[in-house]
Structure 1
């Protein structure tokens, strides 16, 4: 009889690992507590490591077709001056692809389409997960109990499963940043594929999509729980003097389209990504700040690495030990780097510190910037079988 797994969470990481497990011959059930798939989020940038993981899962070509390469753009000051230029062609030469921008809803749809009907069960919440034998894990879901050889917890930054496995861990903490984002309703005239603009304690950026529409995001250093009665009015006040096309991007969405979330991270690293026959993946294992654009990419790396480890055997338990050994050091290092990038970027607020950073960025040669990017992007996935 074949192996079986229950995946808790139907986001990018959960769907990706389900695809990977099916490709190595496992039976998979994905439990998603939301009753309707709303495809929360706006846009996402996929670097070479994430795209290579998607290639290993067999969906890379479809994702490339639905996304737009980021060849032009970079990082700017609020007045529009350039701090660093994005050289997408150089990055493509180095790792085979530029960073690509895609709507999160499109990525979710492509991942779901790669799974057989009935694999993803919506409105299904895992109330409890427990080891019932040396090689069996049980997931209680409503009136149903699912037994499996493996449970993969991909249930996000607020993971209930992580809390059950590591009750003494402090869990996620507020990063100090809150993010508002939206996708324009119509195509917009943008001079670049991707931009970030850094002010004092604030960032504004955009990602262009193939259809001409774009995602924009505003990251602000504010107390946790801060909300605005009129988010767009608040953002127009905050960014009214920033360079074009920021005002036009804010004008291109209705107020009800703006999403607002505080950014939480696992600042205290987990001691392990596994416990018995349960594995943690994605934000459940290493929730990080968005300042490197690596959250989804690291979840995709997790998914491919876990599936490849299980395919290599010789036992599920040995595979989980190998998964933890391979993924924990790298993903936790990326999380630390993302936190540092935020402190030196969006969260920097003192005028003298901002001026010093801006000068250093302007003086840095482009090849040094590419080398910095490659530390995170140049990852080669293991073979699935």
Structure 2
């Protein structure tokens, strides 16, 4: 065999799940290596909404408080009328006090840098693209594009929707939901003046919304069905002005303050991507864990953004995985076979904890998006009745999940 490097734990992908998993292990005194195919940290997506479950996970790795200082706590929804475009109703979060909630929008750059700053130097290896994975007895051999090989006891795939590790495990690739998302981040130098609320408008095949990140920064999104848009063009990514024009054509009835959010967005701070998800039963019955290999984050549960749980659930994964794997590795044994058996059982425990949770999140997100964007009189009526009464509680219920501490105290 070619020259190789022995590494105890290899994490593929320096995104949210990969970095948080590495930090969780680091907090437990377990070293890992994170492989990132890009030349530097990838700051895509601009911002993400983090709910109660995500903040519990961030607190578990010790970076929650620093991020709270840079973000605004959301109080509820401002809902625009599909007929007039005006914000005609409000719905407070946790209206009946049933849930202890926390919801804030955080810049992705701030979040990823907070994770990187807590990791030991050398943890992340950039320009390290995984091309193939082989086996050598219990070990996994990770072949990189530069010809180098890492021999590892544990392989964790945090490499997103097009995961090489998921493919190696035999999971089918995510499928398109027939919708796309345009996202943007806009700065208001003198302050945006927006209330700390989710401002939303949907119906007729389009879902638009925006919310403040802090006093001066606003994150916005527009999800839509390309097949219902005659003017949709494939070159929007290269021509971001077309995206702005499209969104404005869909929100022209809304107040000027909503249109300003889109109009004032820098062309470098807008992106478009197709929405994909993994068929939820694949997570129940497929190989999300096999021996000493597992998945986390979008590689495990790609889902639509309709309940804001994609990033949150990735953080959950990382804490549960860190705890299960940490217990296995830190229980020292002189017998190597015993160590591999402990790792296998630890990852199986992780998989059992995450199967039904990811199934539920993927399913609920898909259904919420379908109802919110569907056309037709019946769906419009259902949306009006359902959103005002059930959406806030649905958001809070899915977010009211505790991944637990890094160290199992039981």
Aligned residue among 173, 177, 180 for 2:179: 177
Aligned residue among 372, 377, 380 for 1:354: 380
Q: CA 1:161–1:360 in 2, change beyond 3 Å: closer, same or farther? A: closer
Shift of 1:164: 1.5
Q: CA 1:49–1:118 in 2, change beyond 3 Å: closer, same or farther? A: same
Equivalent residue runs for 1:257-296 within 5 Å: 257-267=269-279, 269-270=282-283, 271-296=286-311
Q: CA 1:118–1:94 in 2, change beyond 3 Å: closer, same or farther? A: farther
Specify the alignment match of 2:244 in structure 1.
232
Equivalent residue runs for 1:1-385 within 5 Å: 4-78=8-82, 79-80=84-85, 85-88=90-93, 90=95, 94-134=98-138, 136-141=139-144, 142-166=146-170, 169-186=171-188, 187-223=191-227, 226-228=234-236, 229=239, 230-267=242-279, 269-270=282-283, 271-313=286-328, 315-346=342-373, 348-362=374-388, 364=389, 369-385=391-407
Q: CA 1:201–1:83 in 2, change beyond 3 Å: closer, same or farther? A: farther
Shift of 1:25: 2.0
Partners of 2:271 and 2:48 lie apart in 1 by 14
Shift of 1:170: 3.2
Q: CA 1:383–1:114 in 2, change beyond 3 Å: closer, same or farther? A: same
Partners of 1:330 and 1:26 lie apart in 2 by 26
Q: CA 1:66–1:130 in 2, change beyond 3 Å: closer, same or farther? A: farther
Partners of 2:369 and 2:264 lie apart in 1 by 27
Partners of 1:72 and 1:333 lie apart in 2 by 23
Partners of 1:97 and 1:293 lie apart in 2 by 14
Matched pairs, number: 375
Contact 1:73 1:193 in 2 (8 A): yes
Shift of 1:80: 4.1
Partners of 1:297 and 1:360 lie apart in 2 by 24
Partners of 2:117 and 2:200 lie apart in 1 by 32
Partners of 1:237 and 1:37 lie apart in 2 by 34
Deviates more, 1:63-72 or 1:107-116: 63-72
Q: Higher Cα Rg: structure 1 or 2?
A: 2
Shift of 1:379: 1.3
Q: CA 1:232–1:369 in 2, change beyond 3 Å: closer, same or farther? A: closer
Shift of 1:359: 3.4
The C-alpha deviation readout for 1:5-40, integer Å capped at 9, x for no partner, is: 111000001100001111222111111111132401
The C-alpha deviation readout for 1:357-380, integer Å capped at 9, x for no partner, is: 213434x2xxx5554333211112
Q: CA 1:356–1:96 in 2, change beyond 3 Å: closer, same or farther? A: closer
SS of the counterpart of 1:291?
Answer: coil
The C-alpha deviation readout for 1:33-52, integer Å capped at 9, x for no partner, is: 11132401121110000110
Q: CA 1:61–1:90 in 2, change beyond 3 Å: closer, same or farther? A: farther
Q: Identify unmatched segments of 5+ residues in structure 1.
A: none
Partners of 1:151 and 1:225 lie apart in 2 by 40
Partners of 1:198 and 1:170 lie apart in 2 by 31
Contact 1:178 1:220 in 2 (8 A): yes
Q: CA 1:122–1:112 in 2, change beyond 3 Å: closer, same or farther? A: same
Contact 2:179 2:225 in 1 (8 A): yes
Q: CA 1:165–1:225 in 2, change beyond 3 Å: closer, same or farther? A: farther
Q: CA 1:165–1:30 in 2, change beyond 3 Å: closer, same or farther? A: same
Contact 1:83 1:358 in 2 (8 A): no
Deviates more, 1:71-80 or 1:207-216: 71-80
Contact 1:41 1:105 in 2 (8 A): no
Contact 2:175 2:276 in 1 (8 A): yes
The C-alpha deviation readout for 1:187-246, integer Å capped at 9, x for no partner, is: 423244322211211011112022421011111111498443422122222222234432
